Amino acid sequence: MIDSDVHNTTRLIVEPDFPGDKRCAMCRRTRGVYVLEIHHILPKGWGGPSTEAQSARGSVWEYADANCHNTVHLILDHMKRVGEWDATYVQHWDFPAGVVRYAKAGWERYLEKLENREETSQL
């Protein structure tokens, strides 16, 4: 089962004359990236908000190139499978720090969401 939102995401072309803030938030690369995707920090498929409004950039979603985007979902899907933040896995594959940071943020939001759900169900 695929839980992530990586396969039905919005893609946009990076325009060469666009100011430098339109780049992958995870690796910050400025060369060799032509397409950016919108990554929802708490994935839509995990119950996260689906907005793509510019005002929600940084809090709900961020730009990611295809490689970083696939990698952040690879990490998230692994953590969901094992049910905890698996630091050994992250170290073993030596994922880029920026990608790991977004994966961890998504994982923590997912845990918060689970806790909130439990609190609500006890009421």
Contact footprint for Zn ion (CB under 5 A): 5-6, 24, 26-27, 39, 65, 68
Quote the least distance from Cβ 4 to Zn ion, whole Å.
6
Least distance (Å) from Zn ion to the CB of residue 29? 6
**Could you tell me the smallest distance in angstroms from the CB atom of residue 59 to Zn ion?**
15
Q: Are 22 and 15 in contact (CB under 8 A)?
A: yes
CB-based burial, 81-119: b 16+ in 10 Å, e otherwise: eeeeeeeeebeeeebeebbbebbbebbebbeeeeeeeee
Sign of the CA dihedral 28, 30, 33, 39? positive
Q: How far is the CB of 122 from Zn ion (least distance, A)?
A: 31
Residues 39 and 54: their CA atoms lie apart, in Å, by 13
User: Quick one: 2 or 87, whose CB is closer to Zn ion?
Assistant: 2
Nearer to Zn ion, 66 or 122 (CB): 66
Q: Which is nearer to Zn ion, 53 or 121 (CB)?
A: 53
- Which CB sits closer to Zn ion, 52 or 112? 52
